[in-house]
């Protein structure tokens, strides 16, 4: 009974008569009529009613409570309805209050409508701040439209984190002062939200860390000529990076990193953004060279083009931070024309740069961070580096630098010169007070010789010390206990000898210790059980990311509404790793651990391939946080300690190629995280542990070389000794009086003589047939006669 053409232009009163008889009525549609006055109370008798449409009428009043409880849908378009008991609609699934003149603040009790799927309050005059808790419990929502109201303040999308059914969310604003939009990490997908097409006053747009797709949206600049900050980081934009043709003097911060944009960087980009301060185009697929117009941007201080396919020359301008890592740059870095005198962070790693370091480096007085690792640099480090006191981080790993190691390089807070060709010993003159500031030192994979310089370990700030794969000799300095904060100690693959000093036990914050592949002897110190191996390191996060703040600008906005709100955007604070990377052998392979949570939680002890003797101390079972333990290829004896069952976090345990004996402790079956267990080539015996839990995954190779081990997965079965029943033997009287055996002497003598004659006869035939053997036989007899003669003669001469 919805409206018809002949009814229009007239007004009717909805009578209270006749409705009480429809007890089973579920849907009542009275929309698009001209009913006025109040809603008849008799509607309350419709106990089965679930949907009621009174749209486009002039009714007023409130719905009867009896109907409100049962309804699942209310449609109130174009009505003069002033009050409605919304919070009583516990079974409501659809609520449409659009195109009205409702005002005020949305009631918080709307959060009780747990069955709500459709919510439209667009084109009203609602005001105030939208509370984050309003939608938090409405997990069934599929459609939300809050557009064209008068809401104020900040709106958080965090309340929609569990709304897996939400498909449509509209929030179109009529406020021409809408300046800041931050929808970072909101799980947005598809193209850029279309409501931004209607905004032209935006100054900050942050859509970072979503899954937005499509081509780059340069209309964000076209529509918002005053745009200052654009952040589209970590999305899935594709295609070319096409910029608008106009100049945008207000834009000073741009980040479109971690997308899939390709092609060349637009040549006139420097003219379009003449006052830009921060540019981050990293982790895309850009190619070609760096536009020369970048040199016209006098305000540019931060430029990150890393992880692309860019080549050409290094830009020469007043930059403070330049990151060109993982590209195709080549040639010499520091040419005579290099003039980045204001630079303080320079990352050129993972390119194809070649040539030596020049004296130009000494002119970079403000340089604090330099990374030229994984290139083709060669030659000696220039002596002018001795005056480079401002340099805090120097990473030159995986190049071909050679010669002696300059003392200036061991004064940096972070130093990584691994995998070069430095040789000789570190000169004692390098011992100076600046060593006390060193935190991380990596010298792996060079050709260093001589003793370990004691001064290198005299720093309480030292966290990482890696001199693996060199030719250092002598003993481990007993002064090593001074480095009380040391987390990583790697001496693998040198020529160190002597016993393991007990001062190592003072390093109670150590997480990784590798002394393998040396010539260490003696026993394993019992005090190793006092080292926590990772427990303290995981709690203080020694290898988390370091925050570096530059001289950036902040954008500050203030909103005056029902709740006065301040909002600040920190646009220049950036985070980066000091790339603390170490190598450690675990689970029978070399693993790389980089700065971050993995390096904080990894722990292990490797004493393999030495000459250690004695039994394994049971105290090694105390460090319950250790993840890897390798004692293989030594001369260790005795049983496997039962205390190893306390290593509840152990993942790799290698005890192979020793002289261990006894059974494998059954208590080890409780090591639930054990992935690698090797006890091959020992003297272990007994039955292997039951094939359950982690021990079900270990193959026969884990146990081979132990001849007295048996049971699956070995082919050797553990056959139990069967006790045969005892049957008494009754002997005759003749047998009890004599011997239990009887020999026929005549037959024995005859057989002995016959065998002797046959042997002599056969031997004579062989000598007769073979002249060579006959000659050798006579020669042997002759030698025996002469030997006997001289022996007798010498003996008689001594006697008489």
Question: Does the structure show a pLDDT above 80 at 62?
Answer: no
DSSP classification of residue 469: S
Which of 5-19, 69-83, 594-608, 677-691 bottoms out in mean pLDDT, i.e. has the lowest? 5-19
What is the reported pLDDT for 579?
A: 59
What is the reported pLDDT for 481?
A: 86
What is the reported pLDDT for 434?
A: 63
Which of 20-29, 193-202, 370-379 bottoms out in mean pLDDT, i.e. has the lowest? 20-29
Which of 163-167, 450-454, 456-460, 739-743 bottoms out in mean pLDDT, i.e. has the lowest? 739-743
Q: Decide the pairing of beta strands 464-466 and 488-490.
A: parallel
Q: Which two tokens stand for residue 525?
A: 């110190």
What is the reported pLDDT for 97?
A: 75
Question: Per-residue confidence at 563, pLDDT binned at 50, 70, 90?
Answer: very low
pLDDT digits (tens, 9 = 90+) for 171-227: 766 665 678 888 888 888 888 887 777 778 888 989 999 999 999 888 888 888 888
What is the reported pLDDT for 27?
A: 76
Query: How high does pLDDT run on average in the chain?
Result: 79
* Of 423, 418, 429, residue with least CA distance to 373: 418
Q: Which two tokens stand for residue 226?
A: 């005053």
Residue 600's Cβ-side half-sphere holds a number of Cα atoms within 13 Å equal to 11
What is the reported pLDDT for 492?
A: 96
Q: Which two tokens stand for residue 223?
A: 């529509």
What is the reported pLDDT for 577?
A: 45
pLDDT digits (tens, 9 = 90+) for 341-372: 788 899 999 999 998 887 677 777 888 899 99
Arithmetic mean of pLDDT, 489-511: 93
CATH architecture observed for domain 475-543+580-710: Alpha-Beta Horseshoe (3.80)
What is the reported pLDDT for 185?
A: 87
Arithmetic mean of pLDDT, 601-614: 93
Give residue limits of the domains in the chain. Answer: 475-543+580-710
Distances (CA, A) of 635 to 400, 402, 615, 638: 38, 38, 9, 10
Task: Please give the radius of gyration of the chain, using alpha carbons only, rounded to the nearest integer.
Answer: 44
Distances (CA, A) of 331 to 110, 289, 315, 343, 352: 66, 14, 14, 20, 7
CB atoms within 10 A of CB 211: 12
Q: Cα(first)–Cα(last) distance of the chain, in Å?
A: 153
What is the reported pLDDT for 83?
A: 44
What is the reported pLDDT for 735?
A: 44
What is the reported pLDDT for 596?
A: 57
Q: Widest CA span of the chain, in angstroms?
A: 164
Q: Does the global pTM surpass 0.85?
A: no
Arithmetic mean of pLDDT, 489-516: 94
* Of 506, 577, 504, residue with least CA distance to 547: 577
pLDDT exceeding 90 applies to what percent of the chain?
Answer: 34
Q: Decide the pairing of beta strands 143-145 and 118-120.
A: parallel
410 SS3 class: helix
Contact (Cβ atoms closer than 8 angstroms) between residue 704 and residue 677:
no
pLDDT digits (tens, 9 = 90+) for 664-719: 999 999 999 999 999 999 999 999 999 888 899 999 999 999 999 999 999 888 87
pLDDT digits (tens, 9 = 90+) for 146-166: 888 887 776 666 677 677 787
Question: Does the structure show a pLDDT above 80 at 433?
Answer: no
pLDDT digits (tens, 9 = 90+) for 80-113: 544 455 566 667 778 777 777 777 888 777 788 7
DSSP classification of residue 215: B
What is the reported pLDDT for 350?
A: 95
What is the reported pLDDT for 620?
A: 93
Q: Which two tokens stand for residue 209?
A: 């860390």
What is the reported pLDDT for 451?
A: 92
What is the reported pLDDT for 744?
A: 67
Residue where the block lists tokens 């990596």: 442
Arithmetic mean of pLDDT, 445-459: 88
pLDDT digits (tens, 9 = 90+) for 644-655: 999 999 999 999
Question: Does the structure show a pLDDT above 60 at 732?
Answer: no
What is the reported pLDDT for 6?
A: 37
Question: Does the structure show a pLDDT above 50 at 572?
Answer: no
What is the reported pLDDT for 54?
A: 62
Contact (Cβ atoms closer than 8 angstroms) between residue 600 and residue 538:
yes
Q: Decide the pairing of beta strands 554-559 and 565-570.
A: antiparallel
């Amino acid at each position: 009974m919805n409206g018809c053409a002949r009814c229009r232009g007239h007004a009717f009163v909805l009578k209270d008569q006749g409705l009480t008889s429809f007890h089973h009525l579920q849907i009542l549609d009275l929309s698009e009529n001209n009913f006025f006055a109040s809603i008849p109370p008799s509607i309350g008798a419709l106990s089965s009613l679930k949907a009621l449409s009174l749209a486009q009428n002039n009714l007023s009043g409130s719905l009867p409570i009896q109907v409100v409880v049962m309804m699942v849908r209310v449609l109130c378009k174009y009505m003069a309805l002033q009050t409605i008991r919304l919070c009583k609609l516990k079974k409501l699934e659809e609520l449409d209050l659009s195109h009205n003149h409702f005002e005020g603040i949305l009631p918080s009790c709307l959060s009780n409508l747990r069955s709500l799927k459709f919510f439209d309050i667009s084109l009203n005059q609602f005001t105030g701040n939208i509370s984050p808790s309003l939608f938090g419990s409405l997990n069934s929502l599929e459609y939300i439209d809050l557009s064209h109201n008068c809401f104020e303040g900040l709106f958080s999308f965090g309340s929609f984190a569990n709304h897996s059914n939400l498909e449509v969310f509209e929030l179109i604003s009529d406020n021409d002062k809408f300046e800041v939009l931050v929808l970072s990490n909101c799980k947005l997908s598809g193209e850029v939200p279309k409501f931004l097409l209607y905004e032209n006053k935006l100054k900050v747009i942050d859509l970072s860390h979503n899954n937005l797709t499509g081509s780059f949206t340069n209309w964000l600049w076209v529509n918002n000529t005053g745009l200052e900050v654009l952040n589209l980081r970590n999305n899935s934009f594709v295609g070319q990076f096409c910029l608008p043709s106009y100049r945008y003097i207000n834009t000073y911060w741009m980040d479109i990193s971690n997308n899939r944009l390709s092609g060349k960087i637009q040549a006139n980009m420097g003219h379009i953004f003449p006052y830009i301060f921060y540019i981050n185009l990293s982790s895309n697929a850009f190619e070609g060279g760096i536009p020369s117009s970048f040199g016209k941007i006098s305000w540019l201080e931060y430029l990150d083009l890393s992880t692309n396919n860019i080549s050409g020359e290094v830009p020469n301008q007043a930059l403070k931070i330049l990151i060109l890592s993982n590209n195709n740059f080549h040639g010499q870095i520091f040419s005579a024309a290099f003039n980045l005198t204001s630079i303080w962070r320079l990352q050129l790693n993972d390119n194809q740069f070649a040539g030596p370091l020049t004296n130009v480096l000494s002119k970079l007085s403000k340089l604090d961070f330099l990374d030229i690792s994984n290139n083709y640099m060669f030659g000696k480090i220039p002596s002018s580096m001795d005056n480079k006191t401002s340099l805090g981080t120097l990473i030159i790993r995986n190049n071909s630098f050679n010669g002696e190691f300059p003392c200036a390089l061991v004064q940096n807070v972070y130093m990584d010169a691994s995998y070069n060709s430095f040789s000789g010993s570190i000169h004692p003159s390098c011992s100076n007070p600046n060593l006390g500031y060193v935190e991380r030192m990596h010298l792996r994979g060079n050709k260093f010789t001589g003793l370990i310089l004691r001064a290198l370990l005299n720093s309480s700030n030292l966290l990482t010390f890696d001199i693996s794969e060199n030719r250092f000799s002598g003993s481990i300095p007993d002064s090593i206990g001074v480095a009380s904060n040391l987390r990583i100690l790697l001496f693998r693959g040198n020529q160190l000898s002597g016993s393991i000093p007990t001062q190592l036990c003072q390093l109670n914050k150590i997480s990784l210790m590798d002394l393998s592949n040396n010539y260490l002897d003696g026993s394993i110190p019992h005090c190793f059980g006092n080292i926590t191996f990772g427990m303290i390191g995981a709690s203080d996060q020694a290898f988390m990311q370091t925050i570096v703040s530059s001289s950036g600008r902040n954008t500050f906005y203030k909103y005056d509404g029902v709740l006065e709100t301040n909002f600040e955007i920190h646009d220049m604070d950036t985070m980066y790793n000091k790339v603390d990377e170490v190598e450690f052998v675990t689970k029978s392979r070399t693993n790389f651990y980089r700065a971050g949570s993995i390096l904080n939680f990894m722990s292990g002890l490797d004493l393999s391939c030495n000459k250690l003797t004695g039994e394994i101390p049971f105290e090694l079972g105390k460090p319950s946080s250790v993840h890897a333990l390798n004692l293989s290829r030594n001369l260790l004896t005795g049983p496997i300690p039962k205390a190893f069952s306390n290593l509840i976090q152990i993942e790799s345990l290698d005890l192979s190629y020793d002289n261990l004996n006894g059974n494998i402790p059954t208590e080890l079956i409780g090591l639930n995280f054990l992935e690698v267990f090797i006890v091959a080539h020992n003297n272990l015996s007994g039955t292997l542990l039951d094939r359950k839990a982690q021990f079900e995954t270990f193959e026969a190779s884990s146990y081979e070389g132990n001849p007295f081990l048996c049971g699956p997965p070995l082919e050797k079965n553990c056959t139990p000794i069967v006790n045969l029943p005892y049957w008494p033997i009754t002997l005759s009287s003749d047998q009890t009086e004599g011997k239990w055996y009887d020999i026929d002497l005549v037959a024995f003598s005859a057989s002995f003589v016959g065998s002797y004659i046959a042997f002599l006869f056969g031997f004579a035939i062989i000598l007769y047939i073979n002249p060579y053997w006959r000659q050798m036989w006579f020669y042997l007899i002759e030698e025996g006669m002469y030997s006997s003669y001289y022996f007798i003669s010498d003996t008689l001469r001594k006697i008489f």
